[in-house]
Structure formats: C-alpha cells, structure tokens
C-alpha cells in the first residue's frame, strides 16, 4: 500500500506496489456515453477517499485510480463535441498535476494503526459482543468504534482524532479498553447493535463508563459522528473514574 502509481502509454496504469498493470477502458459504447457528472463524481470520489485515509493506506492505489480516471476521461472525450474534449483534457491535466504534486505525501505517510499498537494511536482490539460483555462485567471503561473501510467520515475521524497521541494517553491513563467494530461487510450482528442505538449505519462511537464505586450499571454515552480530540478526551474524563 502507499506506492506511487505510474501511467504507462497513456491508457495503462502500473502500480509499483505489486507490479500489476491495469488497462484503462477504451471509451467505447456505454462508458463513452457516461454522463460527465458521473465521471466527475468518480474522479472526486477517488480524491476524497485518498484524503480520508490521510494519504496513507491505499494512497498509491487510489492515486492510480485518480490518474486512470483522468486518462480515461481524456481518451473517451476524443469523439465528443469540442467543448467536452476541452473539458476532458483540462480535467485530465489537473488530475495528473495534483497526483504528481501529492505523491510525496503518499510515499512518506506512516502505516495505519494496528491492533498491536505498534503505530501511532491507541491500541485496539477487535469487537465482539462477548468481549464487550466481559469487560462491562469487570467494570472496565470501554470505547467502541463502529466503523467501515468504505466510510469516509470514519477514516477522517480516525486520522484527526482517534490516532491522536493525546487520546492514546488518556485511554492509557484511565484504563479504557478500545474496541473496533468493523462493519465493512455489513454483518447482521453489528447491524443489530447499531439499531439498538437508533442507527442504520456508521460511524457510531460509544463510551461505556467504568462501574467502579457505582451500585448500578452506568448507561453508555454516544459521541457525535464528527470527532475531535477534545470531544473524546472530555467524554473519557467525565465518564470514567
């Protein structure tokens, strides 16, 4: 992950990550007639995903999609009206220039956080209802991050807040166990838990307070969908002893 792609022969994209070469569609038939706004949406989506991952995980591959989309758009516009040919060429050039300018960020970015805590940010464990029940029975504070690989908001929150050293420090100091519930495959088990909080999708962030010195089990606290360091730290300081 994170390698810088190279455009070869104008209509082929090579990823140095694994050496695979991808051919850009020739721009015939249905793809050639795709509405311009749909093409631009794909182009913008690739850029947004890349930014959402913090120029890190999948950065090189998404840069390849970005460049490939620009190359395809320019190629597909050859048989279009002059104004669309000009627009396609302009967008392709802007796309290529942006990808080249941002390539050093993808190459130099740190790897994503892992369950072992080897990377920046708090160490986490995979979520399971059984593990959550075990921790709650022990009275330990728990932070659950319901997330998915395709969720842009989730990825941005992880980058700007959850991987923060300050958040990792307060988790460690307060003895918070961080569980990550991966809903990438839209599992029915996690969907049921989301529904119990009145949610139909991710992100969802829940703090389960510690039970120390309390006679009843405290209720979980749902955090905002857009996180900041301050939001997480304030919740942990308030809900744990």
Q: Two tokens at 113?
A: 């956080």
Taking residues 5-24, report their average pLDDT.
45
Which of 39-48, 93-102, 195-204 has the least mean pLDDT?
39-48
Per-residue confidence band for 92, with pLDDT thresholds at 50, 70 and 90: low
Q: Find the helix packing angle between 82-108 and 36-52, rounded to 10°.
A: 10
Residue 205 has pLDDT above 50, yes or no: yes
For the chain, the three-class secondary structure string (H helix, E strand, C coil) is: CCCCCEEECCCEEECCCCCCEEECCCCCHHHHCCCHHHHHHHHHHHHHHHHHCCCCCCHHHHHHHHHHHHHHHHHHHHHCCHHHHHHHHHHHHHHHHHHHHHHHHHHHCCCCCCCCCCCCCCCCEECCHHHHHHHHHCCCCEEEEEECCCCHHHHHHHHHHHCCHHHHHHHHHHCCEEEEEECCCCCHHHHHHHHHCCCCCCCEEEEECCCCCCCCCCCCEECCCCCCHHHHHHHHHHHCC
Q: Two tokens at 8?
A: 């070869």
How far is residue 98's CA from residue 67's CA, in Å, rounded to a whole number?
A: 9
Taking residues 223-233, report their average pLDDT.
95
The model's pTM is 0.57
pLDDT at 65: 58
Per-residue confidence band for 238, with pLDDT thresholds at 50, 70 and 90: confident
Residue 158 has pLDDT above 70, yes or no: yes
Taking residues 170-194, report their average pLDDT.
95
| CB distance 35 to 93 below 8 Å | no
Which of 27-36, 89-98, 188-197 has the least mean pLDDT?
27-36
Taking residues 14-34, report their average pLDDT.
46
Per-residue confidence band for 73, with pLDDT thresholds at 50, 70 and 90: low
pLDDT at 33: 47
Per-residue confidence band for 109, with pLDDT thresholds at 50, 70 and 90: very low
- What's the chain's average pLDDT? 73
Residue 35 has pLDDT above 60, yes or no: no
**Residue 36: which of 6, 77, 4, 64 has the closest Cα?**
77
Taking residues 37-62, report their average pLDDT.
53
pLDDT at 211: 76
CA 231 to chain centre: 20
Taking residues 88-93, report their average pLDDT.
68
Taking residues 215-237, report their average pLDDT.
89
- CA end-to-end span of the chain, whole Å? 40
pLDDT at 161: 94
Q: Ranked by mean pLDDT, which of 58-67, 89-98, 154-163 comes out on top? A: 154-163
Q: What is the pLDDT of residues 78-87, one digit of tens each?
A: 666 677 667 6
């Amino acid at each position: 992950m994170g390698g810088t792609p190279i455009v070869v022969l104008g209509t082929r994209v090579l990823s140095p990550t694994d050496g695979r070469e991808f051919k850009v569609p020739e721009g015939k038939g249905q793809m050639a007639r795709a509405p311009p706004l749909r093409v631009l949406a794909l182009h913008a989506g690739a850029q947004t995903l890349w930014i959402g991952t913090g120029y890190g995980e999948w950065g090189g591959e998404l840069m390849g999609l970005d460049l490939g989309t620009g190359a395809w758009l320019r190629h597909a516009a050859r048989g279009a009206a002059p104004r669309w040919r000009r627009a396609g060429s302009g967008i392709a050039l802007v796309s290529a220039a942006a990808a080249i300018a941002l390539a050093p960020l993808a190459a130099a970015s740190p790897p994503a956080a892992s369950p072992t805590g080897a990377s920046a940010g708090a160490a986490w464990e995979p979520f399971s209802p059984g593990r959550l029940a075990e921790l709650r029975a022990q009275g330990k504070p728990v932070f659950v991050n319901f997330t998915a690989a395709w969720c842009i908001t989730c990825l941005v929150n992880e980058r700007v807040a959850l991987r923060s050293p300050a958040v990792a420090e307060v988790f460690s100091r307060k003895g918070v166990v961080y569980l990550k519930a991966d809903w990438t495959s839209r599992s029915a088990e996690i969907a049921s838990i989301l529904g119990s909080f009145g949610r139909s999708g991710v992100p969802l962030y829940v703090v389960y307070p510690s039970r120390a010195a309390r006679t009843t089990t405290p209720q979980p606290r749902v955090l905002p969908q857009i996180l900041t360091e301050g939001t997480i730290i304030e919740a942990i300081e308030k809900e744990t002893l």
